[in-house]
Amino acid sequence: MAVLLPLASSLSLSCGGRDAQPELNGASQTTLLEGAPPLKNRVLLPDDELAPKALKLLGGSGADLNCNGCHSITREYVRYWRALSDTALSNCLTDLQVSTPESARSMLACMRQVPTDPTSAYKAKNLGMYSTAVPLPWFEYLFKQAFGDTWETEMKKFRERVKMPVGEPPQTHVPYTQEEFDLLMEWFTRGLPKLETLLPEDPAPSTCNPGISADVATHVNQMKLEGWRAVNAERGLLMHGCTAGSDPRDCLASYPRAGEQPYGQGWESLEGAKLRILREQSYRSYYWTRSSPDGRFVGHGGASAGTGSTIVDLLQNRGIGVAAKYDPSFFPDNSGFAFQGSKAFFCEEGLLTSGPANISFTEPQCSSNGQVRLYQHVGAALGGGDYWTVDSGFVSDDGGKSSTPGKDPTANFASTAKIRLTPMVHTGSTFEPMPSIEKNAPFEGDTVISPSTRWLISRLGGSRGRHLGYVLRRLVPTRTETGYTVETPEVARYCLNGGKPNFSFDERWMVMHHYIENNANDAKDLGYTGLSDPGFKPYAEKGGANIYLVDMLTGKRTRVTKVQPGQYALFPHFRSDGWLYFAVRNGAASSTEYVVASDAALVLP
């Protein structure tokens, strides 16, 4: 990691030199100098006083509703945030005086996912810890310089996408004050002194030992008869692209197959399985893609214009604008859906079938709460039980948008990592949360709940954030007078590479995407002899990602796709009848994406 000069030195470029900048003995103030206000004031506390205060602001000493609400506060993660911040300062925040409108717009372009595309969304990662300063005066000045009279509209879009911590008080995380930001960034720009003393390295697992208990077979056999796939079929839930009573393998036949003109990608790789192109879109989606259990509606972050996210109605072949950021989820009984914005929003499925042009979440079919945090996943208890959500520490994964080949996300989860569960009651018109429950899950994150709510699966991290595999747990709830208590015993470990997983509705299968990396295992998996095989060279240079199915009974992994170099198949998930959906991106050079369906889980024995 490159070591940069402290920000105080850099600020001398914009604040009249070091002597002109306020020197603060343990407290800071925002002094509006001529031109731009300072992004950060100096703090003169000694390291041994500064460091514990800064770590507490992150949530590293147990404080609630700070960065630890979404991320595990580990040495590795804090160092990673420092690297992002250093890069932001050297690449994007290059004119802290904001000397011209052109300079302001250039800095803001650097903060976008695609800097050359003025419609591209802003990306918090490009700012590192400076994303926590978004509500403060310097950024307001930046937008006034860049956009003049329209600055408030433009800054609102920016704040909704970039500001950290996520959300608006009092429902969730409270933004840092200028004093707090000054103190926090002083620690980062000094190089995180005392980090090792205050946050000792937790002993992390170095290996993954695979094992599948007999509980898994018992559960799979039970879900074959009683799970949400069977229940929805018995209820007569009509699947998109199917006729009543038809074999699921005959569904979606009206959609073109991958490899047919004009779709010449040839992504099919599993003998006997078909890939269907459900939709082509000319905008970049953000983070995961999820669909309703009947397969009609597909949600994702990102939109062609105007709104933060989109729900695609495949039946009517149109997009519905959604005033949220990302993280769509659909309850497995087809009763409702969720999105994340400044807080979590939950709505009745009937809102979608009523044909709205847009969804603002002010509709009477919608409710919101600040309990359910980012990267949530949802389920519904069988037999008329309550609805559940799960969230945990996570590692963001929005790949395929960089010219650099992607890699499987790291697994920076601490020994203090927890799984957070929130039961929800359906009142008949809205979903209302009950008290949340936290359970210890050392070194685990990116947790997903199964459709029946009886399983939880998490990614397992090792030393230096290395992904080791997946941990499967049972979820055993007990109703009390005030809510629930739960037990989460481990029942299996699957030692496989990949991103955040998802369950089939009969809970026989797990599905995930895996990035093609420059190693012999990935070369051989694609059918090449090794790294030196000329056929693998384009993948090593351009990257890619494929979809994989995992049999929960055996742990056997099967590749579903073989994308072309530079293409990314991402965010797979199931609909109720066993078809799985996923997104395919054409890489950083193209805004074209596809929503694709596969019958692979119906074809495998």
**What are the residue boundaries of the structural domains of the chain, listed by start?**
7-198, 231-284+501-605
Measured CA to CA, the distance from residue 88 to residue 92 in angstroms comes to 5
Average pLDDT over residues 413-438: 92
Average pLDDT over residues 67-76: 75
Q: Is pLDDT above 80 for 67?
A: no
pLDDT of res. 27: 41
Average pLDDT over residues 2-8: 35
Which strands form 326-330's sheet, in the order they lie side by side?
326-330, 336-340, 344-348, 366-369
C-alpha angle with apex 574: 548 to 567, nearest 5 degrees? Answer: 45
pLDDT of res. 64: 52
Measured CA to CA, the distance from residue 439 to residue 222 in angstroms comes to 26
**Helix (H) / strand (E) containing 583:** strand 580-585
Average pLDDT over residues 106-112: 94
Q: Is pLDDT above 60 for 2?
A: no
Residue 116 tokens, joined: 């050359």
Measured CA to CA, the distance from residue 569 to residue 513 in angstroms comes to 7
pLDDT of res. 73: 80
Predicted confidence (pLDDT) per residue in 257-306, tens digit: 987 766 666 799 999 999 999 999 988 898 899 999 999 999 999 886 56
Q: What does residue 73 show for φ and ψ, rounded to 5 degrees?
A: -90, 90
Q: In a 10 Å sphere around its CB, with 0-12 CB exposed, 13-18 middle and 19+ buried, how is residue 440 labelled?
A: exposed
pLDDT of res. 117: 87
**Helix (H) / strand (E) containing 82:** helix 75-91
Q: Is pLDDT above 50 for 21?
A: no
pLDDT of res. 168: 56
pLDDT of res. 174: 75
Q: Smallest Cα–Cα separation from 190: which of 24, 9, 57, 392?
A: 9
Confidence of residue 236 (pLDDT cuts 50, 70, 90): very high
Alpha-carbon separation of residue 137 from 82, 130, 241 (angstroms): 22, 13, 52
Distance of CA 214 to the CA centre of its chain: 32
Average pLDDT over residues 41-55: 93
Confidence of residue 438 (pLDDT cuts 50, 70, 90): very high
Q: Smallest Cα–Cα separation from 257: which of 240, 281, 274, 272?
A: 274
Please tell me which residue, 513 or 5, carries the higher pLDDT value: 513
pLDDT of res. 31: 37
* Cβ partners under 8 Å of residue 80, min gap 6: 412, 465
Please tell me which residue, 333 or 176, carries the higher pLDDT value: 333
The pTM score is 0.81
Q: How many residues does the chain have?
A: 605
pLDDT of res. 33: 36
* The residue type at 226: E
Q: What does residue 287 show for φ and ψ, rounded to 5 degrees?
A: 55, -155
Which of 3-17, 47-61, 344-358 is the most confident on average?
344-358
Instruction: State what percent of residues in the chain have pLDDT above 90.
Output: 66
pLDDT of res. 282: 87
Measured CA to CA, the distance from residue 54 to residue 43 in angstroms comes to 11
Q: Is 262 left (phi over 0), alpha (psi -120 to 50) or beta?
A: alpha
Q: Is pLDDT above 50 for 568?
A: yes
| CB 117 within 8 Å of CB 281 | no
Q: Smallest Cα–Cα separation from 131: which of 161, 157, 99?
A: 161
Q: Long-range pairs for 304-309 at CB < 8 Å and ≥24 separation? A: 307/358, 308/160, 308/161, 308/341, 309/339
pLDDT of res. 306: 61
Residue 349 tokens, joined: 């499925």
Measured CA to CA, the distance from residue 321 to residue 510 in angstroms comes to 30
Q: Which of these ranges, 119-128, 140-149, 359-368, 495-504, has the smallest mean pLDDT?
A: 119-128
pLDDT of res. 10: 33
| CB 268 within 8 Å of CB 274 | yes
Q: Is pLDDT above 50 for 9?
A: no
Positive or negative torsion for Cα 521, 600, 543, 295: negative
Mean residue pLDDT across the chain: 88
Predicted confidence (pLDDT) per residue in 153-201, tens digit: 999 989 888 888 776 554 456 788 999 999 999 999 888 888 888 887 7
Q: Is pLDDT above 90 for 6?
A: no
Measured CA to CA, the distance from residue 535 to residue 554 in angstroms comes to 31
Average pLDDT over residues 461-489: 93
Q: Which of these ranges, 61-75, 104-118, 214-228, 338-352, has the smallest mean pLDDT?
A: 61-75
| CB 568 within 8 Å of CB 587 | yes
348-359 burial by CB neighbour count: b if 16+ within 10 A, else e? bbebbeeebeeb
Q: Is pLDDT above 50 for 543?
A: yes
Predicted confidence (pLDDT) per residue in 477-486, tens digit: 999 999 999 9
User: Within a 10 A sphere around the Cβ of 535, how many other Cβ atoms?
Assistant: 12
pLDDT of res. 204: 80
Predicted confidence (pLDDT) per residue in 111-150, tens digit: 998 888 888 889 888 899 999 999 999 999 999 999 999 9
Residue 65 tokens, joined: 């509703």
* The residue type at 385: G
**Dihedral, CA atoms, 249, 253, 258, 263, nearest 10 degrees?**
-170
Average pLDDT over residues 38-55: 94
β-bridge pairing 23-24 and 42-43: parallel
C-alpha angle with apex 189: 186 to 193, nearest 5 degrees? Answer: 80
Measured CA to CA, the distance from residue 563 to residue 542 in angstroms comes to 11
Confidence of residue 19 (pLDDT cuts 50, 70, 90): very low
pLDDT of res. 171: 45
